[in-house]
Every structure is written in structure tokens, then in C-alpha cells.
A and B are shown apart, each in its own frame.
Chain A
Amino acid sequence: MPVSKEKLEELTKAARRVRRHIIEMTAEAGSGHPGGSLSCADILVALYFHEMKIDPKNPNWPDRDRFVLSKGHAAPTLYAVLAEKGYFPKEELKTLRKINSILQGHPDMKKTPGVDMTTGSLGQGLSAANGMALAGKLDGKSYRVYVLLGDGELEEGQVWEAAMAAAHYKLDNLTAFVDHNGLQIDGPINQVMSPEIIQDKFRAFGWHVIDVDGHDFEDILQAIEEAKSTKGRPTVIVARTVKGKGVPYMENQVDWHGKAPSREQAEEALKALEG
């Protein structure tokens, strides 16, 4: 099912708005994780603006598709997408990381409408997504479960416990994304502790594996279709991404993992994200 030009245009625009929110939010908060938030923006936009069966007016709708942001430090992306979808007013985005905000530093399902799982401690999200997928199978429901992991996050042992379990229970209603930006905090993943070859590892654990360009909507949407038609096993979409994508001075810079832009830097970033 080819995606229309209009749809692609819409998604591209939405992603630009989301990236601008990420910059504004982290600059306003004075802290946060812009690099990994920018790298996964297109994946979240593809899911929330095209793929997922959701109802922003009814965030707890039992039949909704679920999304677990296992790399919880990319919370700004999730919040920006949820605000754009109307789960809560966009003005709330300014309160990120501030006292009494509904927008905690890492996702909190009890505080933010639309957040399906509390995360932030890396390595735990796939397990929770498995639980949601198992519940869906038990209840004969057709909802799908999506989960996004970082590539550095794959170093956590629990991820592989969960990978084994998802294949064992044939969770074909589950699709994982790996935000393969090649960087973690202390440096490139290959220097810190290589999780490569990621595709081979998931394949060996019994998963269906798809490679995509994580900034190409056609590619991402096609992979999601392929995942949906894959039966009897879970699918992982390994998305090649650029950490800091869209903000030239942040791109591929490990330093932009966990610090906020200054006001001037934010202005420069917003200029690059115009149009």
C-alpha cells in the first residue's frame, strides 16, 4: 500500500513541529535529552500520525494500540507527539521537568494522558510490552503493541530475556523499533560495549528483522505493514538514525545526548527546523 504524497507531506510537517517542540521544551527546562529525542522523532510521528489506532479523547480506551517508550529519556518526543495529537494542551509542554508538571523527566503513565507505560530505567520496556501483547492475545483483542528501544539500551540483559520470551510466546502483535543511532552516553556503542550485530542477534532469538532508514517515512510505514503481516513471531525494525537529527550542530554529536541547548543555541536550532 503506497503512501500518498499528501500523507508524506503531512508527516514531514508534523515531524518538524515535533522537533521544534523538543528544542523549545529542553531549552525551557534547561535539561533533558535532545539527541536521542531527535533521532526517534520520525518513528513516533509515523506511529502516532499514521499507524496507531488511538483516541486522544479516550486515552485509556481498552482496544487502543499501545506504545512503550523503553528509552524513556526521549520523553520530549513522546510528549510533543501526544500534545500534537491533542491528549493535552500544547502549553503544557513548557512545564517539562518542572515541579508539579504532568510531564515528568521520564514517562509516567499515572501523570500523563496517553502514556501507556512508565519508563526511564533502561531495559524494562520490552518486558512490559510483552505483557500487553500477551494480554491482547488472552483477550482475543486485535490491538497492536509498539515499543522503542535505544541501541545502547540493548546492552541490558533484561532486553534479551524479553526478546526470548516474545519469540517463545509468538507475539506477532508486537513490533519493536531499535533507534540505531550508533551513540550512547560515553561514546559510540561500538567503543563502549557493542551490541552488534543487532539484526543477527534478534534473528537468532527468533524474531523477524527489517532494516529501515529511520528518517524515511515510506520506509518506516512499509516496514510496519510488513510487521503486521508477519505471523507467528515478533518483528523488530532496526532503524538507522542520526542522533540529533535535524539540528546540524547536534547531529552525530555524543555531547548532545543529555544537555539542553542555551537560548541562542535553541534559536539557531529552530531556524534550521523552519519551513
Chain B
Amino acid sequence: MPKIATREAYGEALAELGEEIKDIVVLDADLSKSTKTSVFAKKFPERFFNMGIAEQNLMGTAAGLATCGKIPFASTFAIFATGRAFEQIRNSICYPNLNVKIAATHAGITVGEDGATHQSIEDIALMRALPNMTVINPADATETKKAVRAAAQMKGPVYLRLGRHPVETIFGEGYEFKPGKGVILREGRDVAIIATGVMVAEALKAAEILEKDGINAMVVNIHTIKPIDEEVILKAAECGAIVTAEEHSIIGGLGSAVAEVLSEKKPVPIKRIGIKDVFGMSGKPEELMKAYGLAAEDIAEAARTLIISKP
């Protein structure tokens, strides 16, 4: 399957949906070529608003449009969407529960060469903490397209976390996407790897590595981090050991969300793969994934150590 960036899929999906859903309007902050909202802008110039380099006003304007029945998709880089405009998202969008979709691209360290200032590794934590917000982190192009459609069709604020770097397409067209429902991609019994976003592909690779060691790993894709699918997590916990994997800080993201469920409902040993409370740096995406311990081998190694400590 070809490698496609989730932002590319977003751009295409949005332009497609724009045809069907006339209430969709799109706002960007001088990054439409990068976020791929330019595809929509070209097709529907009257429904596209470039707000300039002014993210706080972008979120507030999206909120105002939503009060009048529009379905605004607000796009910029994840770091600016969720960082610069956090309080606008909180007070002008989430508190009044307005129908704004924040589709932020360039999330995570796979932004690459731009370095730490542009690598958003706290956005899931920030968005997950907000009442009314749905947080979705698609794994590939197929899932992104389905998630964009689902986001447009559901009521209320949604945070869509998208990447810059091309990633393998794991899912075929027949793949079924249900917001809030985790997907068991591979059954297993020794350990469960729960992954989100670009880490889903790494988790599948890790399971293959473990297979060679005679370890049978379950792989779960959690595309919707909020509301989280407790049922699938508890099912995974039956393996007796869980590794979480995300391209995000280990603080506040998927690992934390899974740990919250487990510690209250079914405590089992857990290891969190993610960025270990440090900032990123410049480099090629693949180099950075290795440097920060996010490669398939890192997941596999975490699974091996964890299995030893299984009660």
C-alpha cells in the first residue's frame, strides 16, 4: 500500500464532504498549503476563510460561525491550534459545546526537521482535559477519511489529530470506523499493545517481532482517545500485561487514559511508550522515532520486560 500523510487524506476528504454538506466552512491560519485545506479552498473559495497568522481569532470566529449553524473546520498546526488558542477552544468552543471541528496537522515529532517548537507532543493531553471535546487520532489515510466524515456528522467539538509525514495505509476501504470504538486488529493472549495514530503501524510490526520470540501479542487501535473505549481496554487487560504506544508525551495522552481505566477497573502491569517528558529536536521522522524510543523494536522490548513481571 502507498504511504500517504493523514493531512493529505484530510484535505481530500474535506473537499469531498464540502460537496455533500453545504454547511461546512473551513478556516485556516496561513498554512492551508501545509494543512491541505487548500484543496477545499480551491473548490469552494466562498466557504474558505484565511484568518491570517492569528490562531486565537481563528478559533473564536469558528465558534461564531457555529452559533449560526455552520460546521467550521478550523485548521492549523497542532502546536498552534491547541497551544496558542487553548483558552479560546476551552471558553469559546467547548464550554458552549459548539459544533467546531479542530483539524490540526503536523502533530507529534514526525514533523521532523522543523524541530521542537513545531512538534506538538502535549495536544492530546490538553484536548482530552476539556469537557464536551471528542479527541480522534487516526492511524492512516483510510481512517482519516472516515474520521473526517464522522466528525462532520457528529454534534459538538472534535479534535482531529493529523500528521505531516506520509504513513503506511493499513486499512482497506471496507474498514469500519465508529467514533469511540477501539478496534482489535490482531488477537493475542500474552500481552496487548494499545496504540493510536502513527503508532498503530509500529504496534503491528512489534507484534510480528514478538511472534518470532514465541510471544502472542494482541494489537488494539484506539483512534478515539476521548471518549475512550473502556470495554476494549478491559478485554485487552485479559492478556495480563499492556503496552501503550503513542507519538505524544507519556504524560496525559493515550497511556494515561488507558492507565486511568485500568487502575480503576482492572489493574494489570502497564508500560507506556511515548515521548518521555522531554522536548523533541530536528531530524528525519524515522530517525526521531528511533531516538525517542517509538520504533516497533521499542514496543517489542517493552512487551518482553513486561511479560516477565506478569503475576
Contact = CB atoms under 8 A, between A and B. Distances in A.
Q: Which 3 A-B pairs have the closest CB atoms?
A: A131-B64, A127-B60, A135-B68
Interface of A is mostly: helix
A193 interface: no
20 contacts: A62-B68, A117-B92, A124-B60, A127-B61, A127-B63, A128-B64, A130-B64, A131-B60, A131-B65, A132-B68, A135-B64, A135-B70, A158-B56, A158-B57, A161-B57, A164-B52, A164-B54, A165-B52, A165-B57, A169-B49
Interface string A152-184: 000001100110110011000000000000000
Contacts of A138: 25, 46-47, 70
A65 to B, nearest CB: 12
B60 A158 contact: yes
Contacts of B117: none
A100 B123 CA distance: 32
Given A118-B92, A165-B57, A127 B52 contact: no
Contacts of B121: none
A107 to B, nearest CB: 10
Interface of A: 62, 66, 68, 108-110, 116-118, 120-121, 123-136, 138-139, 157-158, 161-162, 164-165, 168-169
Nearest to B47: A138
A118 B96 contact: yes
A127 B92 contact: yes
Interface of B: 25, 46-47, 49, 51-52, 54, 56-57, 59-70, 72, 87-88, 91-92, 95-97
Contact of B60 (A120, A130, A164): A130
A46 B187 CA distance: 68
Contact of A161 (B47, B54, B72, B92): B54
Given A132-B65, A134-B64, A164-B54, A127 B95 contact: no
A205 B62 CA distance: 21
Contacts of A118: 91-92, 95-96
A132 B92 contact: no
A125 B51 CA distance: 16
B74 to A, nearest CB: 10
Given A121-B91, A127-B92, A128-B67, A134 B61 contact: yes
B70 to A, nearest CB: 5
B92 A62 contact: no
A132 B96 contact: no
Contacts of B92: 117-118, 121, 124, 127-128
A188 B298 CA distance: 59
B56 A129 contact: no
Contacts of A116: 67
Nearest to A117: B67
A165 B57 CA distance: 8
Nearest to B100: A131
A136 B68 contact: yes
B25 A165 contact: no
A28 to B, nearest CB: 25
Contacts of A120: 91
A175 to B, nearest CB: 15
Given A68-B64, A131-B61, A162-B60, 8 more contacts: A109-B67, A117-B64, A117-B96, A130-B61, A132-B67, A132-B68, A135-B67, A161-B56
